[in-house]
Structure 1
Amino acid sequence: MSAPTSPGPAAARHGWAQALVAVLCGLAAMGVVATLGLWAAGAADLPGGAFPRVVAATVVTAVGGTVDLSGDAGGLAGTEGGLAVIPLSVTLTGALVVGWCFLRPLRHRAVAGAPELAGWAARTAALWLLALLGLALAARYSFEISLGDGPLGDLGELFGFRPVVGFSADVPLTLLIGLLWLAGVLVVALTVSPVAPLPAGLLRPRASARPAARAMVRLLLAAVAVALVVALVAAATRGHPVETFAVILLGLPNVAWLALTVGLGATWDGRVEGPFGLPMPHVLDEVLRTPGVSELNLGALVERDGGAWWWLLVGDAVLLLAVAFVAALSPPEVRVWRHAVRMAVALALTVLMICLMARVSARVGLSVLGIGDLGEGLSGEVLLEPRLGSALGLALLWGLVTGFAGASAARAVRRRGAAGR
C-alpha cells in the first residue's frame, strides 16, 4: 500500500480568502480609476461630502447598476432627470482585475468537478453582492443648485426657494445586474483562459469556443489601446490634457468601441442638447448637436470632417483579419468555413455587448413657473442609441469574411511550415 501524498500546488483550492481577494482587488481598482477620472473631470469641487458618494455611484454604474436622479424645487418649480451611461474604463478595469484574481489560484488545476466550480463562483458571488450592497447604499446624495444671477435667480429670491437635486442607487436592480455582470466576467475568464479548470464534459466545448472568444478579447483591448495612443497624442499636441485624461479614465472604451462599430458600418441615432456633450473627438458632438435626432455613422463623420474617418474602416479590417488569423493558428486546426462561422457568431455577440453597454441617455431639467428649461444652462440632454439589427447583421458579415480570410491565411502558413521541415 502506497503512502498518501501530501497536497501540493495541483490541489490548490479556491476558498473564501481567494474569493475575498478577487472582490476587494476588483472594487479597489475600479474605485481608484473612478476617483482619478472624476477628479480630472472636476467632481472634487462638488459641495460637502458629495465626491465619495459620486465615486460610489460611478462604480455602481460601471457594473451595470442604476442610479436615479431626483429633485425638489418647491411647488412653483419642477425638476426632472434621468441617467443611463456606463463608464466603461472603470468597467474594463474591474473585469480584468476580477477575472485575473479569480483565475490565479486555479492555475495549477486541470479539471474541476461541477459542484466544486459552482462553489468557487458562489463564494465570489456572495462576497460581491455584499460589497455591492454597501456601495449602492453609499451612492446617494443631495445638494442645492445655484440659480445664478439671471431671471431664474431673481425668481428664486422672490419666492424664497432653493432647488435641491440628488441621486441614489436602485439597490435591488444594482444587485441583480451586478450579479449578472460578475457571472459574465467569470464565464469569459474561464472560456479564454488556457489553464482554468472545468468539468471534463466542458473541456471540449471550451476548446472549440476559446480561439474565437480570445480573438474578441484581443479585438476589444486592441481598440482601446489604439484609442489610448490617439488620446495621449491629442493631449500632448492639442491642449486640454486634464479633460482628456478624464475621458481616458472614465470613458475611453465608450469612444473606442463606438468607433469600432461605426467602422463596421453601424449607425447610431443620437442627440446632444444643452451644456452637456459627448467626449472626444468633438466631431461626435458636432454631428449630433442638431434640433432633432441625427444619424452617427461613417458617412456622417466623413461628410462633417473629411475623408480621414475612412481609417476607421481600414483599422477595423486590419484588426479583425489579425485576430482571425491568430485565432486560426491555435490548435487544433479546424475547417475554414467552421472558423468563419465561429468568428461571425463571436463578433455579433461582441457588437451586441457594445451596443448594450455604450448607449447613453442623460437628461436634467429645471423650470420655474414654466420657464427656465434648457436655455439657462441648467438643463440638457444627451442621447445615443444603436440600430441594433443592422449592427448585428454587419457584424455577422464582417466575421464571416475576415474569419474565412484569416483561416485561409493560417492554413497556408501551416502548409508552408510543414513543407519546410
Structure 2
Amino acid sequence: MIARTPSDQAVARHGWAEALLTTLAGLLAMGVVAALGLWAAGATDLPDGAFPRVVAATVVTAVGGSVELSGDAGGIAGTDAGLTVLPLSVALTGALVIAAGFVRPLRHRAVAGTGELAGWAGRIAVLWLLGVLALALAARQTFQIDLGEESLGDLGDLFGIRPEVGFTTDVPVTLLFGLLWLAGVLALALLVSRTPLPPRLLRFEEWVRPAAYAMVALLLAYVVLGVVIGLVVAATRGHAAETFAVILLGLPNLVWLALTIGLGATWNGRVEGPFGLPMPHLLDQVLRVPDIAELNLGTLSDHDGRVWWLLVADAVLLLAAAFLMAARSPARIRPWQHALQMAVALALTVLMVCLVCRISAHYGLSVLGIGDLGGGLAGDLFLRPRLWSALGLALVWGLVTGFLGALLARALGRRRGEVPGRP
C-alpha cells in the first residue's frame, strides 16, 4: 500500500468549493478594478442606474467577450456604432488572481498527473463559464442621446425623434472567448510557476518555462514602471482622477504599446471627433490628423524628444529578461540556443501585444440625411499595428539580447545545473 504525503492529501481535497473560491476571487477582483476605474472616469453619472451594467460590460470585454453597440433613431434617422477595446488592467488583475488560485494547491507537489490537472482546471472552467454568463446577461443598457439646441435638435423635436444608443453582449461569442481566455491564463500559470508538470511534458520544461517566465516578468516590469510613472504624474501634474482611470482600466494598453514602439515598431491610427485615447496628450496630438497617422519613435520625437528613452528602456529590460531566462536554464544550453529561444519568445509576446492592444471605436447619427452621421455627435478612433514589421524587429532584438544575456549569465556564474530528474 502506498502512503500519501500530507501535500498529496491536501491537493486531493481541493474540489468544487476551492474552484468556486478561485473563480469568485478572480471575478470580484476584476469587478472592483473596473468599478474603481469607471468611477474615476466619471461613469457614476450615467443615467438610469447604468453604472453596474457598465462595470459588467467592462469585465466581459476584459476576458475577450463581445459587447455590441446598437442604435435606434426612428425610420427617418440613421445610426452607426462600434467598439473594440480590451481594458487590460482589468484583464491582468483577473489573470493574476485566478492563476494564483490555480497553482496554489499544486505548489508543493513532486509530480502531477494529467487527469488531476485536467479535473482541477475543468472545475474552475465550469464555474468560470457560469460567472461570465451571468455578467454577459447583466451587461446591457440603452441611453437616450441629446441632439442639442441647434438644427438637429429642432428636427428631433419636430418629428418626435429620440435617438438611443445602447450596448448588449453576444453571449455565445462571449462564452467562447471567455473560455479561451481562461485556458490561456491557466496554461501560462503552469508554465511560469514551479508547479510540477505531467511526466509527458517534462521534456519541454527546460526549453519553455525559462522563456515564459522571462516574458511574463518583462510585461509585468513594464506595468510596474507604468504605475510608478502614473502616480508621479497624478501627484505632480494634476488631473489625478483621469490618471487613476487610465491606470485602473488601460495601463497595460499603454505600456505594452510603448514596448513595441521602443523596439521600432509602427502603429497606424487616427482620432477624429469627440473621442479621445486613454493615453498621454502626446499620442492624441500625433493621431488627431485628417489622414491616417503613423505612431513610432520618429513621429513621436518630432513632438517630444524624450520618447527616445523608450529605446533605452527596451534595451535594459530586454537584456534583463534574457539574463533571467539564461539564469533559469540548464548550464548545458549554449548562448546561440538562448538567442533563438529569446527571439521566438519575444516575437510571440509582441504578437500577443499587437492583438490585444488594438483599438477601434466609431459612432455617428444623421437625421433626414443632415449630419452625415457626423456633426458633434460623430467620432472615429482606431489604432492598429504593422504586424509583420513588429514581429521582424522582435526577432532581431530577441536574437541580440538573448545571446548577450546568456554570455552575461555565464560570466556571472548564474547558470543553473542540470534539471533534476523527477519520478
Normalising by structure 1, we get a TM-score of 0.95
* Aligned residue-pair number: 414
Instruction: Report the counterpart of residue 124 of structure 2 in structure 1.
Output: 124
Question: Matched residues in 2 for 1:247 and 1:371: separation?
Answer: 35
Tell me which residue corresponds to 2:420. none
Asked if 1:329 corresponds to 2:327, the answer is yes
Residue 49 of structure 1: CA displacement? 2.2
Measured against aligned partners, the alpha-carbon deviations of 1:296-346 in whole angstroms (never above 9, x if no partner) come to 1111101122x2111000000000001111221124222101111111111
The 3-state SS of whatever aligns with 2:70 is: strand
Tell me, what secondary structure is at the counterpart of 1:276? coil
Tell me how far 1:415 sits from its aligned partner: 8.5
Pair 1:395 & 2:378 matched: no
Please name the residue that 2:282 is paired with: 283
* Counterpart-to-counterpart distance in 1, 2:414 and 2:275: 56
Give the letter aligned to residue 367 of structure 2: V
Q: Distance in 2 between matches of 1:235 and 1:287?
A: 23
Once residues 145 and 4 of structure 2 are traced to their aligned partners in structure 1, the CA distance between those partners, rounded to angstroms, is: 66
The verdict on how the C-alpha distance between 1:416 and 1:396 changes in structure 2, with shifts beyond 3 A counting, is closer
Tell which deviates more after alignment, 103-112 or 310-319: 103-112
Aligned match of 1:169 = 169
State the AA in 2 paired with 1:244: T
User: What's 1:160 paired with?
Assistant: 160
Q: Distance in 1 between matches of 2:415 and 2:178?
A: 48
1:114 & 1:220 partners in 2: Cα distance?
A: 29
Separation of aligned partners in 1, 2:416 and 2:313: 29
Q: Which moved more, 1:373-382 or 1:177-186?
A: 373-382
Task: Tell me, in whole angstroms, the C-alpha distance in 2 between the residues paired with 1:377 and 1:90.
Answer: 31
Q: Distance in 2 between matches of 1:215 and 1:198?
A: 18
**Cα distance in 2, alignment partners of residues 347 and 355 from structure 1:** 12
C-alpha spacing 1:393/1:6, structure 2 compared with 1 (3 Å)? closer
**Who is 1:356 aligned against?**
355
Within 5 Å, give how 1:128-277 maps onto structure 2.
128-194=128-194, 196-277=195-276
- Structure 1 residues 417 and 39: alpha-carbon distance in aligned structure 2, compared to 1, 3 A threshold: closer
Separation in structure 2 between the aligned mates of residue 311 and residue 59 of structure 1, nearest angstrom: 33
- Aligned residue for 1:338? 337
The AA in structure 2 aligned to 1:198 is: L
Contact 1:23 1:124 in 2 (8 A): yes
Q: What is the CA–CA distance in structure 2 between the aligned matches of 1:33 and 1:415, rounded to whole Å?
A: 38
Deviations 1:257-287 (A, max 9, x none): 0011000011101010001111231111111
Tell me which residue corresponds to 2:313: 315
CA shift in 2, pair 1:155/1:114, >3 Å? same
The whole-number CA distance in structure 2 between the counterparts of 1:73 and 1:337 is 62
For structure 2, the 5+ residue unaligned runs are: 418-423
Matched-pair contact (CA < 8 Å) for 2:330–2:416: no
Gaps of at least 5 residues in structure 1 are: none
Deviation at 1:416, TM superposition (A): 11
Partner of 1:106: 106
Residue 374 of structure 1 and its aligned partner are, at CA, apart by 6.3
In structure 2, C-alpha distance between the alignment counterparts of 1:113 and 1:44, rounded to whole Å: 48
Conserved in 2, the CA contact under 8 Å of 1:110 and 1:198? no
**Contact kept in structure 2, 1:143 and 1:165, CA below 8 Å:** yes
- Cα displacement (A) at 1:234: 1.2
3-state SS, counterpart of residue 304 of structure 1? coil
Say yes or no: does 1:83 pair with 2:87.
no
Change (3 A) 1:416 1:400: closer
The 1-side partners of 2:45 and 2:326 are apart by 51
Contact 1:18 1:105 in 2 (8 A): no
| Residue identity in the other structure for 2:313 | G
For 1:240 and 1:7, how far apart are their aligned partners in 2?
56
1:42 alignment partner in structure 2: 42
> Do 1:37 and 1:246's aligned partners in 2 also have CA atoms closer than 8 Å?
yes
Map 1:26-41 to 2 at 5 A: 26-41=26-41
Structure 2 letter corresponding to 1:346? A
Quick one: which amino acid aligns to residue 197 of structure 1? P
Q: 1:53 to 1:373 in 2, by over 3 A?
A: farther
- Structure 1 residue runs of 4+, over 3 Å off? 4-7, 373-376, 415-418
Kept in 2: contact 1:266–1:390 (CA 8 A)? yes
Deviation at 1:378, TM superposition (A): 1.7
- What is the CA-CA distance between 1:375 and the residue it aligns to? 5.3
| C-alpha contact 2:409 2:415 (8 A) present in aligned 1 | no
Question: Equivalent residue of 1:271, what SS?
Answer: strand
1:67, 1:167 within 8 Å by CA — same for their partners in 2?
A: yes
Secondary structure at 2:377's aligned position in 1? coil
Greater mean alpha carbon deviation, residues 108-117 or residues 342-351: 108-117
2:78–2:373 Cα contact (<8 Å) kept: no
Superposition RMSD on alpha carbons, in Å?
1.7
Mapping 1:35-74, distance limit 5 Å: 35-74=35-74
2: CA distance, partners of 1:356 / 1:215: 20
